[in-house]
Amino acid sequence: MARVSDLHKRWLKEPKYRKAYDALQEEFVLAEAVIEARKRAGLTQQQLARKMRTTQPVVARLESGSTRPSLRTLERLAAATGSRLLISFEPRERPDKKQAIGSSRFGVSAAPASAARKTG
């Protein structure tokens, strides 16, 4: 039986699959980051939900990538996991150069507003 990862690699060669996968990539990245933050903090979904003052199904939806959380929700998640929220705007690759140029990041900490800082 073929492994999912092997099938995924093969399917990525198909233009339709690749286009659909690329369109969802940002959602996958965010979901992965949410899971990573929770695990790094050593919390279950239920424990994280309690610290965020929400419910476990809300955390599950965040981790599934099926929802687009508000900035406030991401700030609560950062505070609950002892993480720092970073939001960045990076240019897309230029078709002629295949290289991104410059980037801008703004860090938002779970600490008071005075702790937020601009980097980059």
Q: Give 11-43 pLDDT, tens digit per residue.
A: 999 999 988 888 888 778 899 999 999 999 999
Give the DSSP letter string of 60-104. Answer: HHHHHT-S---HHHHHHHHHHHT--EEEEE-PPPPTTT------E
Q: What is the pLDDT of residue 93?
A: 76
CATH classification number, 1-83, choose in 1.10.10.370, 1.10.260.40, 3.40.50.11540, 1.10.10.10:
1.10.260.40
Q: In degrees rounded to 5, what are phi and psi of residue 71? A: -60, -40
- The span from the CA of 86 to the CA of 106, in Å, is 6
Total-model pTM: 0.64
Q: What is the pLDDT of residue 109?
A: 44
pLDDT of 112 above 80: no
- The span from the CA of 23 to the CA of 85, in Å, is 23
> Which tokens sit at 27?
């959602």
**Every domain range in the chain assigned CATH 1.10.260.40:** 1-83
